[in-house]
Amino acid sequence: MTGQDGGFEVLATGPQALVTDRGRPGFAHLGVPPSGSLDRPSYELGNRLVGNGSGAAGLELLGGGLRLRARGARIVAVTGAPAPVRAGGRPAASHTALRVPDGAVLEIGTPVAGLRMYLAVAGGLAAEPELGSRSTDVLSGLGPDPVAAGDVLQVGPWAGPVPPAGPVPFPAVPTQLRLRVRPGPRDDWFTDPRAALTGPVWTVSPTGNRIGVRLDGPPPPRRTSTLGRELPSEGMVTGAVQAPPDGPPVVFLADHPTTGGYPVIGVVDDADLPLLAQAAPASTVRFTVLG
């Protein structure tokens, strides 16, 4: 990632900037989470806009604040949470292919809604893969280090061309989320699991990260027969709603631990997880039970 030549010199990163791609699924037996982009549709859109193949590495940005100086003319796209973009000091559009001249500074500001933005670069970032992925995994430490000021981001070869598309529409980031959830596999540990999930209006805690999102609200009541007991560690999946005995539930995201001992009351549908990835603290969540 760091060298004398490359596609961009990093001037500032904001709260967090990580290399991301489609992740490394299939290694849970080794204790390795799937990782990869949390808002997969936004990540995929960026690659399509710049003409990359599926799976090209880009950046996932938390909270904006990224400033890069182009080393050579580059084509990029900024997707995900809406945020101000500037190239060479001039306002630029997001959700479209954008040409950044050699030496120009690309700036991505603080999002006006949501949390995470994605930067796709024509050719993809040329980070070294580990277990088939270039994604940074904040739990296990696999993949490139978090991007820091002074790094040089190298870019892979690109054949082009840029697809003929102008700015594409993107959905508004909601502050009130409706998430579909499938009960189980340990919903029998709770007195009324459906009511425990669908009754409260949950609030997104500010303590969440790529490992999981904590939902502030009433702990799901356990059956009397389970009080004082805990499960042996068992496998966990992305979207699992894990309910500890003395606090609110946590919804696991892509860098989650692969095992856990607290019962899982339900699993959020994969298609709804990008909404949770963009949920800012104080956003509200209501669950709808599937099945």
Alpha-carbon dihedral angle through residues 233, 235, 241, 244, given to the nearest 10 degrees: 0
What pLDDT does residue 7 have? 92
What pLDDT does residue 4 have? 39
In angstroms, the CA 289 to CA 291 distance is 7
In angstroms, the CA 282 to CA 205 distance is 6
What pLDDT does residue 165 have? 73
- pLDDT tens digits, one per residue of 242-271: 999 888 899 999 999 999 999 999 999 999
Question: What residue has token string 């809406």?
Answer: 82
What pLDDT does residue 5 have? 53
pLDDT exceeds cutoff 70 at 3: no
Peptide bond into 161 cis (omega under 30): yes
- pLDDT tens digits, one per residue of 22-52: 999 999 999 999 999 999 999 999 999 999 9
Domains and CATH numbers, the chain: 8-153 (2.60.120), 176-289 (2.40.100.10)
Say whether pTM exceeds 0.85: yes
In angstroms, the CA 113 to CA 266 distance is 28
What pLDDT does residue 229 have? 83
What pLDDT does residue 2 have? 42
pLDDT exceeds cutoff 70 at 72: yes
Cα 215 to chain centroid, rounded: 17
The residues, any chain, with a CB within 8 Å of residue 63's CB and separated by 6 or more, are 14, 15, 16, 110, 111, 115
- pLDDT tens digits, one per residue of 86-123: 999 999 999 999 999 999 999 999 999 999 999 999 99
